[in-house]
Structure 1
Amino acid sequence: MRSRPLVALTVAAAAALFLAGCTSNPDTDPTATTVDDGGLCAAAAEPGPVSESVTVEGEFGAIPTATFSTPIAVDAMQRSVAIDGDGTPLTDGAYVTYALTVFDGDTGEQVDAAGYGDTDPLAPIPVEVGTGIGEFFGCAKAGSRIVLAVPGQGDVAAQIYVLDVLEVTPADQWCQVVEADAAMPTVTFDDAGVPTVTVPGSAPPSGVVVEVLEEGDGDVVEPGDSVTLNYTGVKWSDGSVFDSSWERGSPATFATTDVVSGFQRAIEGQKVGSTVLVTMSPLCGYGDASATNTHELAGETLVFVVEIISSEPAAG
C-alpha cells in the first residue's frame, strides 16, 4: 500500500527528468519521506533568459505552439509563467490534473503532447514539497500555463515544456470517503483472526468506501501518526491476495502519510483496536495503468482488511 511514484508527468519524453526528482517507491516496504523546504512557492525553479524568450500561442487546455531560438542551452531548469491562473493554488500534497507539450530544444519541433481533451487524459499526480516535482509546478494556480526550459539528459537534448495546470484538488479533499454505490466484499475470519476476503462478481464501488468491522477503544489515529497494523490486500479483478502482513507473520509499521490515498483515508480517524474494510478505485491506489505507469497494481480496484494495533504521534 506504499504511495505510488510520481510517474514523470506521464509523458515519455519527460519521464527521466521527473522521476529523477522523486523519492517515493511503492515497490518496497521502507517508507519515503519528504522534507519541508519552505513550501512549493520556494521550490519553483527561477525564470531565466531561455524560458522568458519562449512565445507560446494557443488556447489554454489545447495543444499550444511554442516559438524560440534554437538550439537552446540551459544548465539548470528555468521556469516562467505564461498565464497566471486564478483558480485553486497548489499546496503541499495537493493533486494536479495537467496537460503537457514537449518541444525539442535543438529543432523547435513538438516531440510529445498529452493530457488534452477526453481522448488523452492524464491521471492527477500529487505535488509534494521535497520530491522535486515542485520545481516544475511551484504553487501555481489552476488555469496557469507554465513554460520550462529543461536541461538535456543523456541522449535527450534540452527541451521546452509547456504545462497547463487544468485542475487542483487540495490534499484534504482528495479521495474522501464516500458511501458505497455498489455491493461490498464480505470478510470472514479463521480461529487465528486471519481474514478471508470474498469479492462480489459485480462492478466495484467508486471512490473510497470504508466499513468498520470492529470498533476499537484506543486513541484515534491522526494524520501523520506512525501506525502498527496487520492487513491483507486483495485485487477486486480476480480476488487474489497481493500482500498480507498476516501471511508474513509480522505486523507492519509506517506513517499514515506514506501510503496510497485510499489506505490513508481508511486508517486516519479510526480508533486503535479497530478492524476496517476499505475498497479504493485505481486513482486512490496506484493510478490508472498506462505506458508510464506499469506498476503491477495500476488500474486495479483494491480491497484491504486492516487491523490497527497501535499508533504513535508523528515526530516533532
Structure 2
Amino acid sequence: MRPLALLSTLAVSALLLTGCGAGSSPEPTPSASADASGGDVCEQAVKPSALTDSVKIDGAFGKPSTATFTPKQEVKDLQRTVVSKGDGAEIKKGDYVSYALSAFDTTTGEKLGDLGYAAGEILPQNVLANPTLSQVIGCVPIGTRIAAAFPAQQSGPGAQVYIIDVLGTVDTAAWGEPQAPVDGMPTVKLAKDGEPGITIPEGDAPKDLKVSVLKQGDGAAVADGDTTLLQYYGVDWADGKSFDSSWKKGEPISIPGNTYVPGFVQALAGQKVGSQVLVVIPPALGYGEDAKAHELGGKTLVFVIDILATMHAPAAAGQ
C-alpha cells in the first residue's frame, strides 16, 4: 500500500514530535498550540464539496469500507462531509481521539488501504490541538463517519478521499485493574486526576532494574519499536524529588519509536494499554554512571508510567 496522504498529514502527525536519542529524557509532543481550537472549533471545520457529498459508502461504521465516486475530480483544498453523525459525546478540548480510515485514489477510484480498525495502527491524537485534525474531525460527536478529500501533496501522493470513523476517546490516566503492591518497591498514591505521588522506601537503591504493574490493562501490548501515548512521573531515589513529569507539563507525551533510556523502554515492553507501571531504573540503564555527563548521571530513577495507547511500527517490506 503506497503512502496515504492522510498518514502524512494526520496519522503521522502523531510522529511529528521532538525526537530524542536513547540518552534523552522524555519531551512532550509539541502542538500547534494548546489553544489551536481557537475557541469555537466548529468555525474551523472545512466545508463539504460536490466530491465529498457524492461519495457512496458500503460498509458499517467501525469496519473497513468501500466507496464509489466520480474519479478525476479536482481537489484544491481540504474538504469534508459528515456522512452520519454519531450519538456519543462531543469532542472537546484536551480529548485524545481514536479514529480509523479507508483511503481511495481520486484519479482512479482505487482503494489504497485501511488503517486504524485493528488495535495499534493509529495513535489517538489531541484533535483540537492539531489544526488539520481539527478541521476534519473537530465539531463532531463520537460515532461520526466523515467523507474527506485531501489535495495532492507537494512531494508525495496525489489527491485522495478518506472515509473516517471517529471511534472514541482515551483517558489521560491508566484505567486498568489495580494490582497488589510489591514488597520493597516504592509506594504510589494517586490524586483524583490520576497524577501519582511516589514515596521511596528506606534502604539502598536496588542494583538491577525492578518493574511492577500497579494497574493491569487489557489493551494491545507494547511491542518493540512502538510509539506509545503515555503519562509519566519521575523521581530521584536518593531524595524522592520529582525531576520530570508529563502531568506537570499538562499533557501526555509520545516519542517516535519509544527512544527513551533503556530501563524505561524495558519497563514498557509487553505491557498492555491501560496499564500503570512502576519501574526503578539503575544508572546503567538510565543516564549512565557519570554525574558529569548528564544531570541525572549516577542516579537511580523511579518512574510511574501510564500507558494510554500504542502504535505499532510499520512492518518491513515483505513481512
Q: Which has the higher contact order (CA 8 A, sep 6+)?
A: 2
Which moved further from structure 2: 69-78 or 89-98? 89-98
Provide closer, same or farther for how the CA distance between residues 86 and 277 of structure 1 changes in structure 2, counting only shifts above 3 A: same
Task: Specify the alignment match of 1:27 in structure 2.
Answer: 20
1:292 to partner: Cα distance: 8.1
Query: For the Cα contact (< 8 Å) 1:44–1:136, is it kept in 2?
Result: yes
Query: For the Cα contact (< 8 Å) 1:51–1:78, is it kept in 2?
Result: yes
Within the candidate set 179, 182, 191, 1:181 is matched to 179
CA distance, structure 2, for counterparts of residue 23 and residue 33 of structure 1:
9
Q: Which amino acid aligns with 1:27?
A: C
1:250 to partner: Cα distance: 2.7
Within the candidate set 306, 310, 318, 1:280 is matched to 306
Within the candidate set 289, 295, 299, 1:250 is matched to 295
Provide closer, same or farther for how the CA distance between residues 79 and 21 of structure 1 changes in structure 2, counting only shifts above 3 A: farther
Instruction: Determine whether 1:290 maps to 2:290.
Output: no
Within the candidate set 200, 209, 216, 1:206 is matched to 216
Q: Secondary structure at the match of 2:128?
A: coil
1:50 to partner: Cα distance: 1.9
CA distance, structure 2, for counterparts of residue 141 and residue 129 of structure 1:
13
Could you state the TM-score of these two structures normalised by the residue count of structure 2? 0.59
1:96 to partner: Cα distance: 1.8
| RMSD, matched Cα | 4.6
CA distance, structure 2, for counterparts of residue 74 and residue 21 of structure 1:
25
Within the candidate set 11, 15, 29, 2:7 is matched to 15
CA distance, structure 2, for counterparts of residue 107 and residue 168 of structure 1:
34
Task: Specify the alignment match of 2:63 in structure 1.
Answer: 62
Task: Specify the alignment match of 1:104 in structure 2.
Answer: 105
Task: Specify the alignment match of 2:189 in structure 1.
Answer: none
Task: Specify the alignment match of 2:273 in structure 1.
Answer: none
1:135 to partner: Cα distance: 2.3
Task: Specify the alignment match of 1:261 in structure 2.
Answer: none
Query: For the Cα contact (< 8 Å) 1:103–1:161, is it kept in 2?
Result: yes
CA distance, structure 2, for counterparts of residue 245 and residue 47 of structure 1:
58
Which moved further from structure 2: 237-246 or 156-165? 237-246
Could you state the TM-score of these two structures normalised by the residue count of structure 1? 0.60
| Post-superposition CA distance 1:101-137 (Å, at most 9, x none) | 0011011111111233xx5653541224342322221
Query: For the Cα contact (< 8 Å) 2:149–2:162, is it kept in 1?
Result: yes
CA distance, structure 1, for counterparts of residue 147 and residue 141 of structure 2:
14
CA distance, structure 2, for counterparts of residue 190 and residue 250 of structure 1:
24
CA distance, structure 1, for counterparts of residue 172 and residue 315 of structure 2:
22
Query: For the Cα contact (< 8 Å) 1:97–1:122, is it kept in 2?
Result: no
Unpaired stretches in structure 1, ≥5 consecutive residues = 1-10, 252-274, 294-316
Matches within 5 A, 1:217-256: 224=249, 234=264, 235-236=266-267, 237=269, 241=285, 248-250=293-295
Query: For the Cα contact (< 8 Å) 2:14–2:123, is it kept in 1?
Result: no
Query: For the Cα contact (< 8 Å) 1:206–1:280, is it kept in 2?
Result: no
Q: Which amino acid aligns with 1:199?
A: K
CA distance, structure 1, for counterparts of residue 72 and residue 285 of structure 2:
52
Task: Specify the alignment match of 2:128 in structure 1.
Answer: 129
Unpaired stretches in structure 2, ≥5 consecutive residues = 187-199, 218-230, 252-259, 271-280
Q: Secondary structure at the match of 1:85?
A: coil
Provide closer, same or farther for how the CA distance between residues 49 and 20 of structure 1 changes in structure 2, counting only shifts above 3 A: farther
CA distance, structure 1, for counterparts of residue 85 and residue 146 of structure 2:
8
State percent identity of aligned pairs.
Answer: 25
CA distance, structure 1, for counterparts of residue 78 and residue 176 of structure 2:
41
